[in-house]
A and B are shown apart, each in its own frame.
Chain A
Amino acid sequence: MSSDSTETRRAKRLLNWYPKAWRERYGGEFVDHLEQEFVDNPTDFRRSLNIAVKGMVARMGDFGFSRTPLSTEGQTRAALATSFALMALSSILVVNFWSRAMLNWSARTYHPIPVSVTTGILSVVAAVMMLVLMAILLIVVVSVVRQFLRRRGRTLVGPLILALGSGALILYALRRLPGMLVSYSHMFQGGFRWTHPGPAMYGLAYIANSSVQWWVALWNPGVSGAPTLFVVVNNLVPLAALVFGLAIATLLRRVELPAFVERTTRATVMLLGMLTGVAVVTHVAWLAFGGPSDFPTFGFEGRTAGVIYIAFLAVVSVLIVRTQRALRGSNEITVTM
């Protein structure tokens, strides 16, 4: 049975609007402050609303979307972690958009310059994005293993289980990938030739599209007769990607990272934000320049879902840029002190 007074319990309930780190730093004095305010004015809806709004702002800061005064290192990790989680989900769409553009480009004999340029930009963006995500993932994996070897990995167990579980589902959904690579190996005959990259790029786009198209076409397989288990697993992949992204993001915030990561985080987050923004603009330009003239605009999922996906990517790029700006502000604070 708690010995707290009614006012203290009320104050502590309101404190729950704030993130944990904030509560640890300001919680005691904030509760004391509220108890005194309750004596002056027992009920005040505007006061409660003010606390709720500012608490949410503090939580946004905890995710790296706004400046948090708690620590520069915390801000750095929050920005990188949030950007990674957002990108993990977005990368499915970007790869899908790229594969569709590349298949459409390859299916034509006449290549207008705008379509070629936008397809080329999408190819570079998708490739760089996947490389950056893979590099971050590799750093996290190495750091986690090193921390477990040092017997300091206890706090990593929870997010690690989530990452392994969701990662296993994604790998299960991709189980046909090696088979596809073998089946379509004729597309790669002669290897990748820089002077004639077409066949290999087409093959890569075909395989990528065969995998991710099922992930973006939620509950609408587009091809009749697909086994229910196949549809269910593929529909769960976006959720698994989100869980995987969040789990890796949590690990990024908890694991002991190499020193160079903090030095390069600002540039990395800016790069991720720019890549997403360029992917959105280029895909819209690709659609405008005649990409969909002889191809369904948004494939199986339909026009509405396609527009929602593009809007989602636009929001993601804005959010990532916001984390980068908050990070810049946080660094400026450190410099001016």
Chain B
Amino acid sequence: MATNQDALIGLGRNAAAAVLVLSSLAGGDKHGYALVKDVEEFAGVHLPPGTLYQLLARLEARGLITALQADERRRPYRLTAQGATVLADYIAAQQRILKTGQARLKRSWSLA
């Protein structure tokens, strides 16, 4: 049985970029170019078009996002309930790692 984490791990090297796309769509529906601009703004990362559309296709196939009716050529994408759950689980797991790392750095190295 696939877990929520598996849905992202299955994307391999693109998992990190997938989190960026899901995080962007968590803020509202967007088409490809608007998505790239949003990710650039909040993460400082530029997603090349080939990578973006490969991700959109895979996320759509996994049911994490859904394509809406195209407005002329622009097709907006929406985060699904399953996509929101996967993103929330991923962020919670990352926060646990972050807290552990920060605590250990503080205790052993007096950093963070």
> Could you tell me which A residues sit within 8 Å of B by CB distance?
22, 25-26, 28-34, 36-37, 46-47, 50-55, 57-58, 67, 69-70, 329, 332-333, 335-337
Contacts and interface: CB of A to CB of B under 8 A. Distances in A.
Given A28-B70, A50-B48, A336-B7, A37 B57 contact: no
8 contacts: A25-B57, A28-B70, A28-B75, A32-B33, A33-B33, A47-B50, A50-B51, A54-B51
Given A36-B33, A67-B58, A29 B50 contact: no
B58 A58 contact: no
A30 B70 contact: no
Contacts of B43: none
Query: Which of A22, A33, A47, A333 has the most C-beta atoms of chain B within 10 angstroms of its own C-beta?
Result: A33
Nearest to A37: B49
B52 to A, nearest CB: 8
B50 A51 contact: yes
A37 B33 contact: yes
Contacts of B32: 29-30, 32-33
Interface residues of B, number: 26
A335 B2 contact: yes
B50 A336 contact: no
B48 A29 contact: no
Contacts of A53: 50
Interface string B52-73: 1110111011110000001011
B53 A30 contact: yes
A51 B36 CA distance: 15
A29 B70 contact: yes
Contacts, number: 75
Given A29-B70, A29-B75, 8 more contacts: A29-B73, A30-B32, A31-B73, A32-B33, A33-B33, A50-B49, A50-B50, A57-B54
B10 interface: yes
B53 A32 contact: no
A52 B56 CA distance: 17
Q: Nearest 7 pairs between A and B by C-beta? A: A54-B50, A69-B61, A50-B48, A32-B73, A50-B50, A33-B32, A69-B57
Contacts of B63: 336-337
A47 B48 contact: yes
B33 A58 contact: no
A6 B72 CA distance: 20
A55 B57 CA distance: 13
A14 B70 CA distance: 21
Contacts of B75: 28-29
